A and B are shown apart, each in its own frame.
Chain A
């Protein structure tokens, strides 16, 4: 167990290293001069040179990379070129709504897609199965912002059940928070529900063909016990995996959803940062999301050990 944990932890290090390299290269190798961006169009060549010097842009790329990584290791992610605030502080101010949105979407996904997938696999080939599959292929095919607008159009504009846009933190009370987070959460969850229900179905179909499921039935157990105790736990690993790799997709969805529902989260922050070419801010946000992705997938790897004793006793 300990060696499994350490092994996973060690593989995360090179992954994070490559993430840092990619992000660094992405911002350094793309055309467009950060010094120019800071100084503005009116800057003289001398001013530009001075800015380059102060940012260390004249150093060799490798030196710049290690200086950058070294600073981040000390918790210094730099300052925004535009607002001059430390970027971590800016991220801290905007991360709340994003986390709330992501957790809501995740909760809705688990509540909806697990039963859907299990049911579809159990009634394989039947009407329920086909309905679930149709639902999931539609979920894959309609962009999140379209789903967002349809939800707004139907439930906010026409039926007036929900406010059209906006966000209230949980501190303002549960009801105002939940009232505003539900539609964006559902829109964001749509593609995730499609993905997870499909994977749940596929994984369950495979497991339901296993000998031990037949053994469970031969013991005279009820279908509920067979499905949820015997099958679902064995089907869990591919489902967990797709939840983990789908996290990157979720972040992409967050950016769009926050735009549609006008939520002041990280997604909006990053789009604004990109449009303003605010390099330190872009770097920090991408690095942070990638780091979160790696940590989530590390946790999921560890959760394998909880579901499967063969990994636990490795």
Chain B
């Protein structure tokens, strides 16, 4: 008799067999390059990103200014390079923060039925407030520093994490191996740790990548609206916000940062899809 082909695949074997799809490899390469650029920005950039040059305003691309210059005569290429730093930091801060806060809340909601109703209504309430409005309000009403932006973007992401963890816990709880563990005398905390927590890890990693991507998008949107990190720091959103005033003159002031931003997010999303297909085959094709 052949072993049953049910949902019980080895957790690890999938990662090792099957070579990755070419898009995944490409996405990984793009990401590595972007991370490297962010880390080694001073070496990769040709100019200081904030160096003004009144003589050189709105120049088209040439050998010195690879992407041209903006309305203050700053080198667009160098600014785009430095912009990567903020985006990657924001993404990391938001995704890690949302997971660290959301995971325990989700475990609590999934295990303690009494807590569930209140906690989930609270999360519904948080989800009802459009993320960007909340972020705009927080950023504008406080100071526009990196930490504020991270917190402002993170808060609306938490309910999604809580809901994901909770639904995983609930479905795992109905498995008979959890009943079996209860019968073996496993106390609640150890039961959560040993049997429930592991089933949430794979979807959380996947969700984490999606949050990473969406945080970068939101940060760019905030900067674009003029309520993000202060304009003295080059971020992709800031560069585009300034560039849009000259869009008719030179659309590349918007297009260049847009291309790099989109490539970065596309790579993270593709990586997230690949991770999901491997770590969490049940969720194949489903996202967000």
Contacts and interface: CB of A to CB of B under 8 A. Distances in A.
Query: Do A and B interact directly, with beta carbons closer than 8 Å?
Result: yes
B269 A140 contact: yes
B261 interface: yes
Interface in A191-219: 195, 198-199, 201-202, 205
A121 B220 CA distance: 33
Contact of B285 (A198, A251, A259): A198
A80 B279 CA distance: 51
Interface stretch (A53-61, A92-100, A141-149): A141-149
Contacts of A285: 133
Interface in B221-239: 221, 224-227
B128 A15 contact: yes
Give the dominant DSSP class at B's interface: helix
A104 to B, nearest CB: 18
A242 interface: yes
Given A15-B124, A18-B122, A259-B225, A252 B132 contact: yes
Central interface residue in A31, A140, A286, by most chain B CB within 10 Å: A140
Contacts of B255: 149-150, 153
A252 to B, nearest CB: 4
A198 B287 contact: yes
Nearest to B285: A202
Nearest to A293: B128
B136 interface: yes
Interface stretch (B43-51, B137-145, B174-182): B137-145
A40 interface: no
Max chain A CB contacts within 10 Å: which of B118, B137, B255, B258? B137
Contacts of B132: 251-252, 255-256
B130 A271 contact: no
Interface in B247-288: 247-248, 251, 254-255, 258, 261-262, 265-266, 269-270, 273, 284-288
B101 interface: no
Contacts of B133: 251-252, 255, 270, 285-286, 289
A141 B227 contact: no
Interface string B77-115: 000000000000000000000000000000000000000
Contacts of A103: none
Contacts of B125: 14-19, 21-22, 290
Contacts of B140: 274-275, 277
B91 to A, nearest CB: 13
Interface string A266-304: 000011001101000010011001110110010000000
Interface residues of A, number: 60
Contacts of A21: 125
Contact residue range for chain B?
35 or more
Contacts of B221: 143-145, 252, 255-256
Nearest to A142: B262
- Output the residue of B130, B143, B218, B225 with the most chain A CB within 10 A: B130
Given A18-B126, A248-B130, A293-B128, A201 B142 contact: no
B181 to A, nearest CB: 29
B129 interface: yes
A186 B140 CA distance: 29
Nearest to B236: A143
A146 B254 contact: yes
A48 B213 CA distance: 44
Interface string A173-198: 00000000000000000000001001
A157 interface: yes
Dominant secondary structure of chain A at its interface with chain B: helix
B225 A256 contact: yes
A251 B130 contact: yes
Nearest to A121: B285
Interface in A243-261: 245, 248-249, 251-252, 255-256, 259-260
Contacts of A145: 221, 224, 240
Nearest to A153: B251
Contacts of A141: 213, 262, 265-266, 269
Contacts of B244: 149, 260
B73 interface: no
Interface string A13-50: 01111110111001100111000000000000000000
A11 interface: yes
B25 interface: no
A121 B126 CA distance: 33
Given A248-B129, A270-B136, 17 more contacts: A15-B121, A18-B121, A18-B124, A21-B125, A26-B137, A27-B137, A143-B262, A145-B221, A157-B251, A198-B288, A202-B285, A205-B285, A249-B130, A259-B224, A275-B226, A277-B141, A286-B130
11 contacts: A11-B124, A14-B121, A17-B125, A31-B143, A138-B266, A140-B287, A146-B254, A256-B224, A282-B137, A290-B128, A297-B128
Q: When A and B form their complex, which 4 residue pairs have the shortest distance between CB atoms, in order from nearest?
A: A18-B125, A252-B132, A251-B130, A141-B266
Interface of A: 11, 14-19, 21-23, 26-27, 30-32, 133, 137-138, 140-146, 149-150, 152-153, 157, 195, 198-199, 201-202, 205, 242, 245, 248-249, 251-252, 255-256, 259-260, 270-271, 274-275, 277, 282, 285-286, 289-291, 293-294, 297
